[in-house]
Structure 1
Amino acid sequence: MKLDFDFRAKIFILFLDMLLVAFITTDIIVYSMLFMLTIYLILQGYSRKAFKLLVIACIAIMLKILSMGQGITILIPDMFLFMIIRIMIMLMAAQPIIGMPPGEAVAVFKKMNIPNSFALPVTFMLRFIPTVRSEFSNVFSAMRLRGLLSFRHPLKTLEYVLVPIMIRSSKVSDELAASAESRGITYPYNHTCRRDISFNKKDGLLCAIGAAITVLLFIFEKVVIA
Structure 2
Amino acid sequence: MGKQDAGFAAPVRLCVFAATLLGVFLTGGTERTWIIAAMLFLILMAQKAWKQCAGFAVFYGILSLLLYLIRFHGLRMAVFSEFHVFLFWWMTPVFMAAWNLVSTPPGELSAFFARVHAPTGAILGMLVIFRFFPTMRAELRGLRESMHNRGLTGPAQVLRHPGNTFEYILVPMLLRCLQISDQLAVSAAARGIDTPGPRHSYYERKLRARDILAAALYAGGILAFLLTGGIK
Fold shared by both chains (TM-score > 0.5): yes
Aligned pairs for 1:150-169 (under 5 A) are 150=155, 152=159, 156=163, 157-169=165-177
Aligned pairs for 1:139-178 (under 5 A) are 139-145=143-149, 146-148=151-153, 150=155, 152=159, 156=163, 157-178=165-186
Measure the CA separation in 1 of the matches of 2:205 and 2:38.
Answer: 29
How many matched pairs? 223
Partner of 1:221: 229
The CA RMSD over aligned residues, in Å, is 2.7
Partner of 1:93: 97
TM-score (structure 2 length as normaliser): 0.82
The letter of the residue matching 1:33 is: I
Report if aligned partners of 2:36, 2:222 keep a CA contact under 8 Å in 1. no
Match among 74, 77, 82 for residue 78 of structure 1: 82
Structure 1 residue 15: Cα displacement: 0.5
The answer as to 2:46 corresponding to 1:43 is yes
DSSP-derived class of the 1:73 partner: coil
**Runs of 5+ in structure 2 lacking a partner?**
none
Measure the CA separation in 1 of the matches of 2:154 and 2:67.
Answer: 30
Measure the CA separation in 2 of the matches of 1:45 and 1:154.
Answer: 44
Q: Quickly say closer, same or farther: Cα 1:109–1:217, change in 2 above 3 A.
A: same
Identity %: 24
Report if aligned partners of 2:24, 2:30 keep a CA contact under 8 Å in 1. no
- Higher Cα radius of gyration: 2
Match among 18, 34, 54 for residue 37 of structure 2: 34
Instruction: Work out which structure has the larger RCO, using CA pairs closer than 8 Å and 6 or more positions apart in sequence.
Output: 2
The answer as to 2:7 corresponding to 1:4 is yes
Match among 63, 67, 83 for residue 64 of structure 1: 67
**Runs of 5+ in structure 1 lacking a partner?**
none
TM-score (structure 1 length as normaliser): 0.84
Structure 1, residues 10-44: CA drift from partner, whole Å, max 9, x if none?
A: 111101111122133432x2222222212211222
